[in-house]
Amino acid sequence: MEMEEAPTYAPSIAVLNVQEMVRRDPLHVPQRYIRSEEDRPKLSKPSHLSSQIPIIDLSLLAIGDNEELSKLDLASQSWGFFQVVNHGVAEDILNSMKKLSTEFFELPIKEKEKYSMPLNDIHGYGHAYVVSDEQLLDWSDALMLLVHPTNYRKIQFWPVKPDGFKEIIESYSNGIRKVAEQLLVSFSLIMGMKQDVILGMHKKLVQALRINYYPTCSIPDQVLGISPHSDTSTITILMQDDDVAGLQIRHNENWVSVNPIPNALVVNVGDVLEIWSNGKYKSVEHRAITNEKITRISYASFLLPHDDVDIEPLDHMINPQRPIKIYKRVKYGEYLRSSMKRKMEGKAHVDMAKY
C-alpha cells in the first residue's frame, strides 16, 4: 500500500525567541508585545466563576454512566471547557513529560535551533500564526510536532536531547489519544449516535502536540502569552503545570481562569465539534496570560480530522432546538489552512464558515 505523505500546513514569519530575549534583558519588553488597553489582562480581578468549570470523571464515561454523560453534554454547551479526572494516563508519564520538556527548553538556544520551525510549515521550535510584520506578538515560544498518523511525523524536528524526550512524547501522546477516543465515543452517545460514529467521521484521527513555553514577564498586565482564539480541532486536551495558572476562557464576556487541578487534563470543544453539532457545543475563545515570577509550560494535544473530510452540521443536529443550519460545508484541510494563514483572532475564523 502506498504511504500517504505528510501534508504541509502554513507559512509563518520568523520572530525573536522570547525566552532568549528575557534571558538577555528581563526588564525589556519590545513595543510589538504591548497590547492595547482593552485587550490587556486584568490581573487584579480574578473571576469567582473559576470554581464552576465542570469536572468530568472519565472512568464513569468509560462505563457509559448516564449522569456523567449528561454532565459532559451540559459542560460542552455552557462552558465548552471542562477538566477530566480519572483519565487513566499514568502519573509518572505526566511527570516525565513535564520534566523532560522543561529540560528541553532549558537547553542552550544553539541546541534548540537545530529544530527551528521552517518558514513554510509549523513543525518544530518557533512561532506559528505570525502573518504580518505589524501584528502584535505573543509572549511565548513553542515546540510543535505532528504525532499521528505516524507517517505524518517529520522526525528531523523531534529533539534528540534531552535523553528520552522523544520516547516520552510518544508514550504521553498515546495516553492522550486513548482519552480522546473515549471522549469522542461519549460525544457520539450524547449526540444520539452509535459510539464509533464520530471517530469514524475523522477518516484518520490526526494528532498534533504543541508544547507552549511562557517565560516570565516584567509587565504581565500589558502582554498576552497566547492571543484570544478558538481551536480548529475537534477537541483539544491540555496538560498544564500544577503550580501556576495562565489559561483563561471567555464566559459571558468575562475572562475566567482555568485553575490547575493536579494530574487533571483540561479539555475543550474545538471548531469541528461546534460545526458538527450545529452550534450546540461551543468552541470557546481562550487565551493565556503570563506572570512576573514563574515560567509556565502547557502541553496542548489537538485531535483533528483528515484533510479530505467535509465538515458540516450533522442532519439530525438541525432539529427543533436549532432548526437553522448555521454552518456551510467546508473541506477540513481548507478550513484549517485558511485559519493558519490568519493571526489568532477570537472566533473570527469559525464565523467565516457561517452562512
Nearer to ligand OGA among residue 141 and residue 231 (C-beta): 231
Task: Please report whether residue 18 would count as binding ligand OGA according to CB under 6 A.
Answer: no
Helices (H), the chain: 18-24, 58-62, 66-78, 91-105, 109-112, 165-190, 197-201, 271-276, 332-340, 348-352
Task: Please report whether residue 247 would count as binding ligand OGA according to CB under 6 A.
Answer: yes
Nearer to ligand OGA among residue 60 and residue 89 (C-beta): 89
Q: How many residues bind ligand OGA (CB under 6 A)?
A: 11
The x, y and z cell numbers of residue 41, run together, are: 489582562
Binding at 210: pick from Ni ion, ligand OGA, none (beta carbon under 5-8 Å per type): ligand OGA
**The only residue of 264, 288, 317, 340 in contact with ligand OGA, by rule CB under 6 A:** 288
Binding at 256: pick from Ni ion, ligand OGA, none (beta carbon under 5-8 Å per type): none
Task: Please report whether residue 278 would count as binding ligand OGA according to CB under 6 A.
Answer: no
CB contact set of 236 (below 8 Å; sequence gap of 6+): 267, 268, 270, 300, 301, 302, 303
Phi, psi of 93 (to 5 degrees): -70, -45
Nearer to ligand OGA among residue 41 and residue 313 (C-beta): 41
Nearer to Ni ion among residue 19 and residue 283 (C-beta): 283
**The only residue of 210, 251, 280, 349 in contact with ligand OGA, by rule CB under 6 A:** 210
* Spatial contact of 183 and 61, defined as CB atoms under 8 Å apart: yes
Task: Please report whether residue 212 would count as binding ligand OGA according to CB under 6 A.
Answer: yes
**The only residue of 68, 138, 141, 231 in contact with ligand OGA, by rule CB under 6 A:** 231
- The amino acid present at 306, given as its one-letter code, is H
Between CA 223 and CA 217 the distance in angstroms is 8
Nearer to Ni ion among residue 121 and residue 231 (C-beta): 231
The DSSP secondary structure of 123-153, one letter per residue, reads: -EEE------SSS---S-EEEEEEEESGGG-
**The only residue of 169, 191, 239, 300 in contact with ligand OGA, by rule CB under 6 A:** 300
Task: Please report whether residue 313 would count as binding ligand OGA according to CB under 6 A.
Answer: no
Q: What angle (nearest 5°) sits at the alpha carbon of residue 210, between those of residues 50 and 33?
A: 70
Tell whether the torsion through CA atoms of 181, 182, 183 and 185 is positive or negative: positive
Stretch that binds ligand OGA, among 166-174, 189-197, 239-247, 346-354 (CB under 6 A): 239-247
- Helices and strands per DSSP (H, E), number in the chain: 10, 14
Between CA 249 and CA 243 the distance in angstroms is 19
Nearer to Ni ion among residue 280 and residue 287 (C-beta): 287
Task: Please report whether residue 246 would count as binding ligand OGA according to CB under 6 A.
Answer: yes
Nearer to ligand OGA among residue 190 and residue 281 (C-beta): 281
- The amino acid present at 209, given as its one-letter code, is L
Between CA 216 and CA 347 the distance in angstroms is 27
Stretch that binds ligand OGA, among 35-43, 114-122, 147-155, 240-248 (CB under 6 A): 240-248
* Other beta carbons less than 10 A from residue 46's beta carbon: 14
> Residues interacting with ligand OGA, by CB under 6 A?
210, 212, 226, 231, 240, 246-247, 286, 288, 298, 300
